[in-house]
Amino acid sequence: MQAPVSVQETTDGAVLVRVHRELDAEAAAQLRLALVHVIRRVRPRRLVVDLNAVDDLDSVNAGTLAAGYELGADHDVAVTVQYREPRVGWKLRTAGMPHEQLHHR
């Protein structure tokens, strides 16, 4: 069985954090740990969070991603989020993610 969250470096030096399923408690915890680790320890210039497999977000997970964006800004890591479902983008904007950091696929 595939892990709910994977982390990989891209050819351009960015880090991709991909969520492979809905954000249940296990996946949400792995996402939080991955965001903090990559931003505070790896410190790439760019971090891309891929939520294309996620159909919906609750307010806690949207807040986690918005906090990850703020933490990235504190550590000079540009955090962007890719998503497929429009309601995911709406919830991220409502939680405080800047529109220009969100990319609808």
Which H or E run includes 79?
strand 78-83
What residues contact residue 103 under an 8 Å CB cut-off, 6+ apart? Answer: 80, 81, 82, 83
Q: According to the model, what pLDDT value does residue 59 have? A: 93
pTM above 0.85, yes or no: yes
Residue 2: pLDDT over 90: no
Q: According to the model, what pLDDT value does residue 1 have? A: 67
- Coil vs helix vs strand at 70: helix
Span 86-97, average pLDDT: 97
Q: Which of 1-5, 41-45, 80-84 shows the lowest mean pLDDT across its residues?
A: 1-5
Q: Looking at the domain covering 5-104, what would its CATH class be? A: alpha beta
Whole-number average pLDDT of the chain: 96
Span 61-75, average pLDDT: 97
Span 40-63, average pLDDT: 96
CA gap 87, 34 in Å, rounded: 23
